Structure 1
Amino acid sequence: MNFGRIVTAMVTPFNQHGQLDLVATKDLVQHLIANGTDALVVAGTTGESPTLSTQEKLLLFKTVVETVDGQIPVIAGTGSNNTNASIELTKQAEEIGVDAIMLVVPYYNKPSQEGMFAHFSAIANETKLPVMLYNIPGRSAVNMSVETTLRLAQVSNIVATKEASGDLEAMATIIEHAPEGFSLYSGDDSLTLPILAIGGTGVVSVASHIVGSEMQQMVRNYQSGQVTASAMQHRQLVPVMKSLFMAPNPTAVKAALEMKGIKVGSVRLPLVPLTAEQQQELQTVVHPTMNFFVS
């Protein structure tokens, strides 16, 4: 399955009482589609999945699937550190009509490589949906090895991995030895161009909420051989990408969306809003009239 180049890890909009805001969710989906998003990850880390109940996740999946209406793929974040719970949520998401699922490396439990293989295989075997793996050692406290990723890539419906290890050497090895049709996505916005350069497919992005069209332009330039222009655009986007991680994700990107007039609300505890100083710093980079790629 082709998820495209720029996949947005979508924030979850909340109202002023901290509840799901489904109207704002629909508006956000339309904004993202209009601004270069090729596919959506719903209820991932950026979607504040640790603070969403199962019922909230299912309502979010349903709302996004209905709003997208087949325009782009919807990838449901159904992974957790509980294999049986992930299987159950995956089955429910499949019934709702999502196009694929994303499964994070189990966090906190610190499974062995064999444990990771068994966990992902067990979930993949219980669904017909395409599966994207998600390796993020900074959050899960364990790193999925190249060998385990390549072993899982042999499972027929495990079709992609989101790599947030930052290890380009490991990613190059995965790309080199994975079966045909297996895609590797960057889990870090700032590595989008380097990962394309070593044969990766694209990025699962946070910055695309704000600069999705610009990121698509950068990718198109790279693909059409305008490497120098693409590299310059990448460098121009780095300050935005960096600013969106000045506080624990998705605190800054939610604030940035609000600055651009896109209502998504604040974050849920244990995350807290940006300080006044951070808001000011973010506003120097992200503002409604910002103009990118001016030479």
Structure 2
Amino acid sequence: MDFGRLITAMVTPFDAELQIDWKQVEGLIDYLVEEQQSDALVISGTTGESPTLTDQEKLKLFDFSVKYAAGRCKIIAGTGSYDTAHSIHLSKEAEKLGVDGILLVAPYYNRPSQEGLYQHFKAIAESVSIPAILYNVPGRTSVNISAETTIRLSQISNIVATKECTGTSQMTSVIAGAAEGFRLYTGEDSMALPTMAVGGYGVISVASHVVGKEMKSMINAYLDGNVKEAAALHGKLLPILEGLFCAPNPVPVKYALNSRGVHVGGVRLPLVAATEDQQQFINGLFN
């Protein structure tokens, strides 16, 4: 399964009552695939505010997105949590709905050992037949899936990739030791080009909601051997790639989308809207 180089972790559009706005889900999928050149979409990941979505909402989003995308892009379901049994349940249901793969965030808060992490991901992956992508984001989960554990997990046939939010040292170790064909994506927009430079495959991105086309150009320039051009594009994009995290994700990117006429609504508590200062800062990124 090739999920492509540029994967967008899609926000969940809400209406004025903070219920899922299905018409805007359609519009957002069209926009991300046709205008921003996303190869795949993560549905109900943490950028999609998964902690505040019910299981019923998540499953309806998976089903709706698969049917509406209709093969125009791959659909990856965010089914991971800090509860292995719950993650297995969601993953099995997502597979029935026809998603192309699942994204499994490292268990947060309960901070399992490396063996616990291995057994957690192994159990989920073995409960389905579709591809699974690990998601290692220590800054949010308070646990790091070590390079050694990721390499061990890469031997499981349907664990095909990892989304890494770590430095190039750990990423390089994973790339060097993982099973053949295992792919590493960065989850840090500002690390997209550096990650590819050390052998990573691509990026699972937030900023691609608004600069996806430009990010795709950077990736393609690098792949074509135009390293100087890719570096120049990286330098130009860097303030945006970093600036869209001036407030808790996805608050800034939802504001940026709404400002551009891509209506995705607000955020559910405990997140709150961007402040006036944050709005001015985000506006300045694009001027």
Interval containing the TM-score (normalised by the shorter chain)? over 0.9
Q: CA deviation at 1:284?
A: 1.3
Tell me, in whole angstroms, the C-alpha distance in 1 between the residues paired with 2:173 and 2:193: 17
Residue-by-residue CA offset, 1:206-243 (whole Å, 9 max, x unaligned): 00000001000001111111111110100100111122
Give the letter for the 1:26 counterpart. E
Measured against aligned partners, the alpha-carbon deviations of 1:238-264 in whole angstroms (never above 9, x if no partner) come to 111122101000000000000110000
What residue in structure 2 maps to residue 124 of structure 1? 125
Match of 2:244 in 1: 244
1:160 and 2:176 aligned: no
Paired residue secondary structure (1:46): helix
Offset of residue 146 of structure 1: 0.5
Equivalent position of 1:182 in the other structure: 182
| Identity among equivalent pairs (%) | 53
Residue type of the alignment partner of 1:262: V
Question: More displaced, 172-181 or 77-86?
Answer: 172-181
User: Which residue identity lines up with residue 128 of structure 1 in the other structure?
Assistant: S
Query: How far apart are 1:281 and its partner, in Å?
Result: 1.4
| Structure 2 unaligned residues grouped into runs of 5+ | none
Q: Alignment partner of 2:150: what SS?
A: helix
| 1:293 matched residue in structure 2 | none
1:177 is displaced (CA, Å) by: 1.3
Number of the residue aligned with 2:231:
231
The runs of 5 or more residues in structure 1 that have no matched partner are 291-295
**When the two structures are superposed, what TM-score results if normalisation uses the length of structure 1?**
0.96
2: distance between equivalents of 1:248 and 1:121?
A: 30
Query: Which residue identity does 2:238 align to in structure 1?
Result: V
State the Cα distance separating 1:102 from its structure 2 match.
0.5
Distance across 1 between alignment mates of 2:76 and 2:243: 26
Q: Deviations over 1:16-48 (max 9, x none)?
A: 001011110110000000121010111111000
Residue 68 (structure 2) aligns with: 67
State the distance in 2 between where 1:285 and 1:10 align. 21
The CA deviation at 1:63 is: 1.2
In structure 2, how many angstroms separate the alpha carbons of the residues matched to 1:28 and 1:62? 16
* Residue 220 (str. 1) matches residue 210 (str. 2): no
Matches of 2:169 and 2:242, distance apart in 1: 22
The 1-side partners of 2:281 and 2:269 are apart by 22
Q: Does 1:253 align with 2:253?
A: yes
TM-score by length of structure 2 reads 0.98
Cα distance, 1:72 vs structure 2: 1.3
Counterpart residue identity of residue 222, structure 1: Y
The CA RMSD over aligned residues, in Å, is 0.7
2:84 is matched with which residue? 83
Residue equivalent to 1:20: 20
The equivalent of 2:107 in structure 1 is: 106
